[in-house]
Chains A and B, each alone.
Chain A
């Protein structure tokens, strides 16, 4: 099972339909990411990067595809419940806008993926927050944190349940360069130390330097 790629997408097409108008976004994408690989996807806004990430993150279904496999599992035929379960078990998300739940504490935000798996978050949350320099913020609500701290909390939440794949959609897009460096450093560290598969979308060429592979997208296709 572990020999299989983390992500394997073949001939993926996707189109959005608004008010009866169909707008193709992805055109026959083939995309394979090995386990433990760090892949960066770059490209102009609207080229389909986020759509691709949402499809491999099981957040949306493609219009058409020959195959979409996540963590070795063919997901095209899965029902909603099975896709949700697979997402819960195998995928961690980091978003540009952090997307923390504002009503609960930092510690509860980070522990949520564990709770959703039925695991009581005993020490993991504390250790992880400690490791990320956020121990003092554990009881605070996300609104009381700086943007850099919020993104670190988001990363902690994304990896606490040890997913197979971390999908990061412009994780440094809202951060200054110092915070962006810290965030990238964290992602790289978890990739390196835990063998985490990372697919990261970014516009920042400098952030792509550390990646195993950089893919460029334009008009719904990968290009050289």
Chain B
């Protein structure tokens, strides 16, 4: 039967190829959309895990991806610093982060506003590969820490001079390569011209860092606000217990999560987008398999006489369904191979066009694609196979 199914497909090479291509495009869409989602989530999570902290404090909202602004105020930071037990403060280090947006390397990047004096917590073992780590911004941070503020009536030139030391950026090496940036390049963010001061190894929480104090000055006139906090705990504290205590202390406006849970939170936040992407690729796949169904059905109609011959030779109804399923399976398997090849091709293309996007194509996703192809192939062959099996042999033989 397999040889016959294969021969039947080869007899109509172009149609077989087009059908397989349709399946391949569907499989590719499924793999790439899922790969984009899971790859991006995994990559962001991996980078967040590099921060030297155990807890994250986030705004009390469901979605942690689409967060903007800085809902936390200075009082939150003080609460976090001051929360203590008999052995002293629970937090060894509270790291505020202030998020902005910047378009670099051909796509929007989250701008991580961090205190230059706390960069070590983000850097860990990673090195500065070019330039320096906020050399001048340190001085600016110290001035702000001393309470220096520009007077209300300061003119623009004087304001620029006040900000000048704080207008530094540190980027990661991957962004540098993708965007072709050099130390000293100038980038305009929110009307201010920042200068790239240094480049660090990739894998840190953000791709673009700016001094926290600078962003606060530009966006909220120096208010001690933050988008989120990382908390490094005092040695010996149990993170989950400490998280509960911080959450109670902060009240309803914040959620305190284990940093190790960040991946799960990302996936949950991405669920609705994932659902949409899965639904879209699912619809595409259904259309592809309808295409196979139509192909198989057309083949049944075209080959009515041959089906009559097979019946005359003693092929059972089950055998005819099996033949139909085998043909559809062969188309699907070829389609899956094409789809996987296209997915790797698309990943390579995305790597060239949008290099900072990560498309994950793990083995389990490829196995899922094979399973979808096989199940879809079988399902789309059942009705045409049933029609073939139901044909009256004598009538089928007299079919012109």
Contacts and interface: CB of A to CB of B under 8 A. Distances in A.
Interface in B131-163: none
Interface string A62-91: 000000000000000000110011011100
A99 B394 contact: no
Given A101-B4, A103-B4, A103-B7, A113 B313 contact: yes
A59 B312 contact: yes
Contacts of A54: 394
Interface residues of B, number: 23
Contacts of B305: 99
A87 B312 contact: yes
A89 B10 CA distance: 30
Interface in B207-230: none
Interface residues of A, number: 25
A60 interface: yes
Contacts of B3: 104, 108
A99 B309 contact: yes
B272 interface: no
A84 B313 CA distance: 8
B8 interface: yes
A23 B313 CA distance: 28
B314 A99 contact: no
Contacts of A113: 313-314
B7 A104 contact: yes
B317 interface: yes
B316 interface: yes
A60 B396 CA distance: 11
A49 to B, nearest CB: 13
A133 to B, nearest CB: 23
Interface string A93-120: 1010001111110001000110011000
Interface of A: 54, 57, 59-60, 80-81, 84-85, 87-89, 93, 95, 99-104, 108, 112-113, 116-117, 157
Given A84-B315, A84-B316, A103-B4, 15 more contacts: A60-B393, A60-B394, A81-B317, A85-B314, A87-B312, A88-B313, A88-B314, A93-B313, A99-B305, A101-B309, A102-B11, A104-B3, A112-B313, A113-B313, A116-B313
